[in-house]
Amino acid sequence: MNQANQYKTFIYTALPCEAKSLTAHFKLKKDTAVEPFAVYLNQDICLIVTGPGKSAMAAGVAYTQALLASAENPVMLNIGIAGHKDHALGTLRLIDKIIDLDSGKHYYPPLVCNQHCLTDSLQTASRPQLQYDLPHLYDMEASAFYETATRFSCAELTQCLKVVSDNKQMPAENIEPKQVSALIAAHIPTVEALLTDMTALAKLITSPEPHLFSQLVQQYHFTASERIQLKNLLCRWDVLTDHRELEFDGTDLKRGKDVLRRLDQQIGKMDFCL
């Protein structure tokens, strides 16, 4: 593996058939120097096939992130198949809620990019769910992916994209690898659009910090998305005032949201012309 290249985009799949159309489209080449997992690379993207199940997915994410010593705030995307009670085969969903059936933990990936498809909730279990009795998607890896990936990147850059491969009428026992590859291949334009948005967001998050940013982040609690808003507002102030000192009295502010509101008000009162 080319450790000198700091990969910023990581795609994780559980199965080779989930990865096949992606490796072909993005022209990814297998790195034979990596033995524990199948790793495919181009100049910008690193795709990893971890194997099925939560333990394999968690290990694959942790191993590749540690090995690559990736750049700050990498894009982390899990793409794979899932079952559903009645969604048609080939239905694509971006996951906004993950429920781990074994631990009972809930995760809520924040959806801050443009929504290129509908969203849905997903349940992750250690064994295939063949009853299809609840209106959720079902898989065997997403909760482990999300919990592990968010140790290496922010939640906004950690997303799960699932394609329905089985339902009550067409249960999981009938799934064929060629069918899985074809189902994912049909949604590659959406995958590309999502990765483009996530990459743009990553660049924004890692842009140089404006004046007062570190001070305010230490003084108040901001979520990751609120930090993006804070950085945008401070950068806007610098542009509009030619880096004039911002006199900021935050004695009556308690939360990050209060700070954002105050900054927005101050900028809104400014007189400027183009």
pLDDT along the chain (274 residues), means of 10: 67 98 97 93 95 97 84 90 96 97 95 87 93 93 97 91 96 94 98 94 77 87 79 81 75 87 84 50
User: In the 8-state DSSP scheme, what is residue 174?
Assistant: G
Task: Report the pLDDT value the prediction gives residue 50, as an integer from 0 to 100.
Answer: 98
Task: Report the pLDDT value the prediction gives residue 69, as an integer from 0 to 100.
Answer: 60
* pTM for this model (two decimals): 0.77
Short-list 48, 33, 7, 81, CA closest to 148: 48
Contact 50/61 with Cβ under 8 angstroms? Answer: yes
Contact 38/76 with Cβ under 8 angstroms? Answer: no
Question: Max alpha carbon distance in the chain (Å)?
Answer: 66
Whole-angstrom distance, CA of residue 84 vs CA of residue 118:
14
Question: Phi and psi dihedrals of 54, rounded to 5?
Answer: -65, -40
- Segments in the chain forming alpha helices (H): 16-25, 54-68, 142-149, 177-185, 188-205, 213-219, 224-241, 256-268
Q: Which residues pair with 139 in a beta bridge?
A: 124
Say which residue the tokens 């181009």 belong to. 42
Contact 39/13 with Cβ under 8 angstroms? Answer: no
CATH of segment(s) 9-205: 3.40.50.1580
Show the tokens assigned to 64: 């590749």
Contact 85/133 with Cβ under 8 angstroms? Answer: yes
Whole-angstrom distance, CA of residue 132 vs CA of residue 135:
8
∠ at Cα 124 (121, 125), nearest 5°? 145
Helix (H, G, I), strand (E, B) or coil at 185: helix
Task: Report the pLDDT value the prediction gives residue 271, as an integer from 0 to 100.
Answer: 61
Contact 4/47 with Cβ under 8 angstroms? Answer: no
The ranges assigned to domains in the chain are: 9-205, 213-268
Non-local (6+) Cβ contacts of 220 within 8 A are: 250, 253, 254, 255, 256, 258, 259
Show the tokens assigned to 84: 């559903």
**Around 196, how many Cα atoms within 13 Å sit in the side-chain half-sphere?**
9
Q: Beta 106-107 vs 137-139: how paired, if at all?
A: unpaired
User: In the 8-state DSSP scheme, what is residue 95?
Assistant: E
Residue type, 219: Q
Whole-angstrom distance, CA of residue 66 vs CA of residue 55:
16
Task: Report the pLDDT value the prediction gives residue 274, as an integer from 0 to 100.
Answer: 44
